[in-house]
Amino acid sequence: MAGILVSLVGADGQRGALGIVEPGRGLRYVQVEQASDLLRSAGIRGIAVVDRRIYAVTQASLRIYTVEQDVNAPLFRLEREVIRKDWVLGGPKQANLIPVAASNARRRVWVGNNSQCCIEEFDLEGVFIGRRHLWAIAADLCESPGWLGAEFQYGSIRGMCVAPDERLLLIVAGCNGSQRGVVVDTDHGEVLFDGLHDPIGGLFSGERFFLIDNNGTQLSCYDAVHETGLISRASEWTATPHMSDPGYAQLGRDMRGMAMCEDSIYCGIGDFHQRGQRSGLVAFDVVTGALTWAMPVPEIVRFAEPQVFHLASPPRGVELPVDDELITYEFGNRVFTDQVIPQQRDPVSQNVFTESAARIDATARAKQEPRVAVTVREVSVFYDRSAVSWFGGIRRSNKGKYYWALKNVSFSVAEGEMVGIVGRNGSGKSTLCMLMAGTLHPDHGEVIRNGRVQLLALGVGFRPELTGRENVLLSGTLLGLTRKEVMRNMTDIIAFSEIGEFIDEPMRTYSSGMRSRLAFAVATAVKPEILILDEAMSTGDQSFSSKADERMQSMRANAGAVVMVSHNVKQLGNFCSRVIWLEKGRLVMDDEPEVVIAHYNDFSRDNATWLEQHRDIGASLVSTP
């Protein structure tokens, strides 16, 4: 079929997908994939195709898919996932694998490893062959640094492409810690293009070479000799994704990924640095560079703000139904089918605007029922109670015993809800908060998040030797804000926290109330879709508590989901629409605040009597190890 293979990354990093876009009809197929336990992100990045196989990289794995013939199964079957031991190490981005390229003629697959500044070579079956570092490929390109800051790198391998003569070219940005970008021939170590500004990717097609430059804002077309892949230095045309139609107002402006289809070059478009910018595809005429078509990515069930990461021609054997429908699979299961509206043309600009009915149906459903923000499904977390002594021995009394911090807990939180969690110390409240935030993974079950999650546990990320201002910068960065965003909110954070001139004093001189107020001010400045407060409302005196209450009411009114853990049942009763009661890792009750709080107060006063009156609950608590 004439289509385009796309990889998608969720805004929260917890979702990744492969999709098929049919020009003129829009997104036709989506297959949402689950991350392996060793990966910190499920997002699918670079993709390459050889025959019936797809080679896709996450930040720390190479996945090999093949086209499935069973019409009742997902279109792409995971044949193998390669995870090298050193790929899973490092910081949040792990190996930070981005591009992948494949050659049927050379029977090779190459992966760009940015944590090691190298390319890794495999055969088409995924068997590792070797590794070549950037300084070994082009020695003159990599200079020894005069200083070594935390952000220094010899270069970031943003893209790869195979020339007509089967040479592998690298598109490298950030050379030697600068904004310099180059295109490098890996076979000869030659720099083919220099002086680029943060290039993103390149693509050969016939007698043309296409390059995305200027940090994704400019697409250029160059002449290329088909037999050799030699590239002219002067571009035929350059283009930018500027669209004046109101329907495109929320689309990002950064291009990423390219694929040819008929007489057009297609690019992914979005904004990985700013939430709320929709992603999509744009098409340019290969001869003139004129913008001819654009398509926003529709909303996808349980997939927060899908962003197009890369494009490729679809593998051989892909066939979709002739009907206009969007077929979606999630973790191997068919989840829904929606009709797709045919493309429409704006009468003024004559640009094409295609919108999937999935987005329209989702909007209609949202008006009828709230969108689920967090789903906790049959979640369990346990710890081995075997205590290892300094001498390597295991305490005999606890050998083989486990402690269930949570066991078979299930519930959901909808947008606009404020849900309280109550329970005695050790009941599993903080463990549940960490699961919902993604900082802890369950031993059994799953947690599905549809939005940006922020866990506020007072004091997390604060360093006592740093000043309040420095801690705001540190904490804000950990919460997902850029330095510019933190600085833009600094004045409001200081004013709201009532710290005053103490903002430039070390945190160790602060009272507990001052630390609490500052932590609350920073966390609520982030404005996440899902805010989790773990005992974070104990914020000092009555006047500040009133301000904090008003801010929480405002966040709730703006449809952000809030989960609040507190021992203050009166506070939960005032704010929450529901309260969940945990005891010994079990969900005892999930009901209206007055119902749960009344039972919890009775239990707290005389738990033996309450358990006698509720023997079914008591039996489940006794059976928990």
Class of domain 7-332+343-368: mainly beta
Could you check whether 7-332+343-368 and 415-622 share the same CATH topology? no
Tell me the percentage of the chain whose pLDDT exceeds 70: 78
Residue 578 to residues 171, 420, 537, 572, 575, Cα–Cα distance (Å): 52, 6, 17, 9, 9
- Interval 49-61: pLDDT, tens: 999 999 999 999 9
Residue 108, pLDDT > 90, answer yes
Higher pLDDT pick, 443 / 244: 443
Residue 369, pLDDT > 60, answer no
Q: What is the pLDDT of residue 354?
A: 40
Q: Average pLDDT of the chain?
A: 80
Q: What is the pLDDT of residue 5?
A: 95
Report residue 155's pLDDT band, with 50, 70 and 90 as the boundaries.
Answer: confident
Residue 33 to residues 50, 69, 293, 303, 359, Cα–Cα distance (Å): 20, 19, 28, 11, 20
- Indicate the angle between helix axes 483-497 and 512-525, nearest 10 degrees: 130
The answer to which of 382-396, 532-546, 554-568 has the lowest mean pLDDT is: 382-396
d(CA 196, CA 215): 9
Residue 153, pLDDT > 90, answer no
Residue 220, pLDDT > 80, answer yes
Q: What is the pLDDT of residue 401?
A: 61
- What superfamily would CATH give domain 415-622? P-loop containing nucleotide triphosphate hydrolases (3.40.50.300)
Q: What is the pLDDT of residue 334?
A: 72
Q: Tokens for 439, please give them.
A: 């900082």
Q: Tokens for 274, please give them.
A: 């700013």
Give the pLDDT mean for 35-45: 80
Closest CA to 1 of 247, 318, 289, 311: 318
- Interval 312-348: pLDDT, tens: 999 998 888 777 678 888 766 676 544 443 443 333 3
d(CA 576, CA 559): 13
> Highest-confidence range of 8-12, 144-148, 169-173, 402-406, by mean pLDDT?
169-173
Give the pLDDT mean for 513-532: 80
Residue 352, pLDDT > 60, answer no
Domain extents for the chain?
7-332+343-368, 415-622
Question: How distant is the alpha carbon of residue 117 from its chain centre?
Answer: 23
Give the pLDDT mean for 439-445: 84
- Interval 160-196: pLDDT, tens: 999 988 999 999 998 877 778 999 999 888 888 888 8
d(CA 276, CA 451): 11
The answer to whether 201 and 256 are in contact (CB under 8 A) is: yes
Closest CA to 585 of 448, 431, 447: 431
For residue 190, give every residue at least 6 positions away whose Cβ sits within 8 Å of its Cβ, in sequence order, or none.
Answer: 138, 184
- Interval 541-596: pLDDT, tens: 666 777 777 777 676 666 578 898 888 888 888 888 899 999 989 999 999 899 99
Q: What is the pLDDT of residue 254?
A: 83
